[in-house]
């Protein structure tokens, strides 16, 4: 018989965004409100939620400290570190994305996914660049998905006056060869310029 146990979740985030949906927001197929939930509504009953960050771990003594200085003991711990988007690591990127008049955006941050859609539906000519960076990202397929969706949106009128470029740090379009072979057919069919081993 498994003994009764308690689960405690430590997380300061109040608002949860359904991350895969942000690509669909960028495509105009969903809005940001449809992707947003209150964190408290997503936590199963019986789970204790402490709305704080963990500031230190003491695995030898099975304890953690929170940002308020509270020490918590545990039997088992699961660490989900998450991912921090660092726009500041590319010179000028953060300012460009924040500037509504600048045609630079991202689907990885909720507040800019809608900007992506606005750009895709208002720019009538030029080069569109999509990138799979040389860093950990939330979803390896998302840059390709938004590229293919952009192609579809642009084909509703202005695709002949645009050029799509997909930059990847990989030596091919996708890491798994079986899928890469199929995706290359899509890239060729949609006339997308593939640039491999770029960071």
In a domain, 80, yes or no: no
Taking residues 47-69, what's their average pLDDT? Answer: 94
The pairing of strands 47-50 and 71-73 is unpaired
- pLDDT surpasses 50 at 17: yes
Looking at the structure, do residues 54 and 98 belong to the same domain, yes or no?
Answer: no
CB 65 within 8 A of CB 71: yes
pLDDT of residue 83: 79
Nearest residue to 134 (alpha-carbon basis) of 82, 86, 194? 86
Looking at the structure, do residues 58 and 149 belong to the same domain, yes or no?
Answer: no
Taking residues 168-175, what's their average pLDDT? Answer: 92
Q: Cα–Cα distance between 153 and 28 in angstroms, integer?
A: 10
In a domain, 78, yes or no: no
In a domain, 150, yes or no: yes
Task: Band the pLDDT of 135: cuts 50, 70, 90.
Answer: confident
pTM, whole model, 2 decimals?
0.83
pLDDT of residue 4: 62
Task: Band the pLDDT of 129: cuts 50, 70, 90.
Answer: very high
Taking residues 19-36, what's their average pLDDT? Answer: 93
Choice among 58-72, 77-91, 108-122 with the minimum mean pLDDT: 77-91
- pLDDT surpasses 70 at 115: yes
- pLDDT surpasses 50 at 1: no
Looking at the structure, do residues 68 and 91 belong to the same domain, yes or no?
Answer: no
Alpha-helix residue ranges (DSSP H) falling in the chain? 21-27, 93-98, 110-122, 142-154, 177-189
Tell me the pLDDT of the chain averaged across its residues.
92
CB 113 within 8 A of CB 145: no
Taking residues 31-43, what's their average pLDDT? Answer: 94
Domain range for 36 is 7-73
- pLDDT surpasses 60 at 25: yes
Taking residues 68-96, what's their average pLDDT? Answer: 90
In a domain, 125, yes or no: yes
In a domain, 79, yes or no: no
């Amino acid at each position: 018989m498994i003994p009764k146990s308690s689960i405690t979740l430590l997380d300061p985030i109040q608002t949860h965004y359904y991350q895969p949906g942000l690509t669909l927001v960028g495509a105009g197929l969903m809005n940001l409100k449809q992707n947003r939930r209150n964190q408290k509504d997503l936590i199963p009953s019986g789970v204790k939620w402490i709305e704080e960050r963990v500031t230190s771990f003491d695995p030898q003594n099975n304890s953690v400290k929170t940002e308020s200085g509270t020490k918590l003991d545990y039997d088992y711990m699961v660490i989900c570190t998450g991912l921090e988007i660092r726009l500041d690591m590319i010179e000028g990127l953060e300012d460009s994305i924040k500037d509504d008049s600048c045609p630079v955006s991202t689907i990885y941050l909720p507040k800019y996914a809608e900007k992506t859609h606005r750009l895709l539906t208002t720019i009538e000519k030029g080069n569109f660049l999509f990138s799979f960076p040389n860093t950990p990202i939330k979803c390896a397929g998302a840059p390709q998905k938004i590229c293919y969706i952009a192609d579809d949106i642009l084909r509703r009128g202005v695709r002949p006056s645009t050029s799509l470029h997909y930059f990847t740090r990989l030596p091919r379009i996708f890491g798994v060869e079986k899928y890469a072979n199929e995706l290359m057919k899509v890239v060729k069919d949609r006339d997308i310029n593939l640039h491999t081993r770029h960071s």
